[in-house]
Amino acid sequence: GQQLNQSPQSMFIQEGEDVSMNCTSSSIFNTWLWYKQDPGEGPVLLIALYKAGELTSNGRLTAQFGITRKDSFLNISASIPSDVGIYFCAGQEGAQKLVFGQGTRLTINP
């Protein structure tokens, strides 16, 4: 099946720093999604991208849908302690089926 390559796998940053993570795919997706998962919880949608080249912001979060439709990135500006968690990219196939990246574990030092 399809796989998404998400990097980096983990990040250790200082509070206030900006964060950038990305996903690449060997095939095209029509929709890219970014989720955050806290320990012991299900993923929560952060940003959804529907058009190639689309750049979307949600507060301190910004994500872009790559022109080739095979990649996407997520940026978090001015990180705060509550940003800690695991971030997953996901490409959406037909009928709402999602393929997830491996996740980026974000740790923030106060």
> Which two three-digit tokens encode residue 33?
């999604």
Q: Is 102 a residue that touches other proteins (CB under 8 A)?
A: yes
Cα-only R_g, the chain? 13
The residue among 39 and 110 lying less far from other proteins, judged by its C-beta, is 39
For 82-100, the DSSP string reads GG-EEEEEEEE-GGG-EEE
Q: Is 7 a residue that touches other proteins (CB under 8 A)?
A: no
Q: Is 84 a residue that touches other proteins (CB under 8 A)?
A: no
Applying CB under 8 A, the span of 14-22, 32-40, 61-69, 73-81 interacting with other proteins comes to: 32-40
d(CA 32, CA 65): 7
Q: Contacting other proteins (CB under 8 A), which of 19, 72, 101, 108?
A: 101
- Cα dihedral 36/40/41/45 (nearest 10): 10
Which residues of this protein are in contact with other proteins, per CB under 8 A?
Answer: 1, 33, 35, 40-45, 48, 88, 95-103, 105
